[in-house]
Structure 1
Amino acid sequence: MVDGEPRDEARAPESAAADTSPAAGAAERELRRDDAAGVITGVAAGLGRHTGIDPVVWRTAFAVTALGGGTGLWLYAFAWLLMRDARGGPALLEQLLNRRLSGEAVLALLGGGLALGTAFNLIGGFGWTTLVLAVPLVLGGLIAHNRGVDLSRVARQLPEWLTKREPPPNAPGSEPDPAYYNPAQPWAAAPSGPIDLAVVARQSAAREAPDPDDEEDEDSGEDRERPPRPKDRDDAAARPSPRRGVSLLGVSAWIVAALTAVVFVHAGGVSVGALLSPQAAPLYLGGVITVCGVVLVVGTWAGNPRGVAPVAALVTVLAVAATTTDLTQLRFGDARWRPAAVSEVREPFELGVGQARLDLTALPLEPGQEVTVRVRVGFGSLDVLVPDSTRAVVHGRAGFGRVALADRVSQLGVGLALHDTLEPVSGSGGDGAAEEAVSEAPTLNLVLDSYAGDLEVWHVAA
């Protein structure tokens, strides 16, 4: 035995262990933007592909948190700076910092940014803005915990991910696509470019080599189904089986139904206002979100929590809408208003979506009297009928659509604003009497608002 042999034997296990280490064999799971499935920049589509969560959920989260002081907007921009392009090229911040950022580090930075925005909003006191940011933060943490992510370990490793000096990946270069030889195609019609002879050899060998299973079937003369190969059986065994157990979505529905019944009993009747009014919505919808969060935590150990997270996201959006707008006042369909007293026009007329018609011909007005009427139609059309014996001072605004004042003025476009006056129609008396009737005519101040639609004001005979 030579003196060098024991040293070689001792070194062999170490080199084998080094070659089979996870770092050497495992490829990095990159977080890339998905331009093909993206809507704007591919950020939400790339996050959805990396995490296995529908991109719609990510887009909803960015949109909801944008209502909290614009936090979702700068989080989206931050994600665009941190994510690599669709081909795996380095992210902009990776190039500026000259270091590699893993997908886990990017997700941790986004979660930390959302937590920082929530903390800043808490400085001024707890309000609906804090609720808008805190609910997605809590839901995101629960979903991560449900998937087996150790959030404390991620928080401890984040400084290490940011301080390591591993260089960013190189931008992929464009290479010409090889043209492969097709034996059935004549050389005169062959495409230009390099020919990979190794591929040609493998394709020819694959066509010429007989399948031993097919030979056995031919020898036996029987048509039998081929049993799965060992590799196929290993792949089937390695494939994770779907999560089984009690559907926690059904359990959540029963709990929410019981909570709704308690709210109706406490309110003394069944009404939408008891659930979605600005005073009741934070408590009721906040309770529903809490139930979903508890169910997601329970689903980590038992049951099937599938479908709970999307429901929680939708309820969060509804909670944000209920805290910013009085949903109980929204009206849909067709509306016909014909007030018969001045007291009936003190409150504004409102319609969410549909067609509205306001007839002011039955409104009793004294000479020289001035009355203000406010009408708001979200999406749709509005026709206002004014008696020809009154003066109509119109202040109309429409985000998109058309604004018309009788046959004299008509505007069509975006961001419309109309400020004009319809003078009363003079009577049939002498010139002096007609001028006196016009000067003493009552005045209707019409304040008309619409997000998108048609606003029209007409003079009609009373």
Structure 2
Amino acid sequence: APPVPAAFSSWWRDPIVKDGTHIGGTGYLWGPRDPRDPDIASRINVRLDPHFSARDDSPTRHRAVKPRGPRWIGGWIFLLALLAAGLGTGLTWQEQPLGTSLQTGLACALAVFGIGLAVSAFLGRTGAGSILLAVITAGLLAASSAVPKDIGTEWMRTTWEPASVAQIRPVYDLGSGTGTLDLSEVRIPEGETVSTRAEVGMGRVHVIVPEGVTVKLSIDVGVGDIQLPGDKQKDVDVAPGKHKEVTLRPAAGARKAGTLDLDIHVGAGQAEVSRATS
């Protein structure tokens, strides 16, 4: 910067003329001014704000109000989806199997997510969370379709105790729960064969066979464990797709009897066969 003048004008304030003649003016506008020179900057108020007037000395600037963005509706959609899922499942819980009831509730929740995403294009926004929940709901809906239809929604404890061959039913069926088929009192004559079937959708079935009967077993367990006479009670091996076909011979010295053809099917749970004691 050029030096600050004291009592006289500096050489650099002379008019910019090559021949040295005086034209007038104040010289350089960007140098330090003399005390007698007018302060041009104080008299001319240069602003970039088009709404600011030179006469307005207020330090407060007028800020433009930003328009509000779309309203967030993702939380409401989630709550409505939960309500629809609970309502759809609750209305069909007593009358339909477990798989059908779950499918109804999840389908209602998925419909709410779909409607919410469509409405958000006009009235608000949902975000990636709602889309992720809709995808998870669709996956659960597809998984619930694989639940066997014989699995009920009520957990029951049932015991069947036929006292004779004539009272043995062809099929003993239980949706979900614990079923016990006690055949210990049945006397099958030697040389005869009696067939029956026990089915449990989800839970546990326990079949007690007579002491001197030869038992031909065919057991299918979708996911779970199979317990046979001689196995340790604590030796539980849960695995998918279990199948066993075995013949149980009566113990030595037992009174000879006929043959029991037993078919056991469990969707998810445990199938146990034990022999009655004398």
TM-score by length of 1: 0.33
Structure with more of its chain in helix, by fraction: 1
Q: TM-score, normalised by structure 2?
A: 0.50
Q: Which has the higher strand share?
A: 2
Decide which structure has the larger Cα Rg and report it. Answer: 2
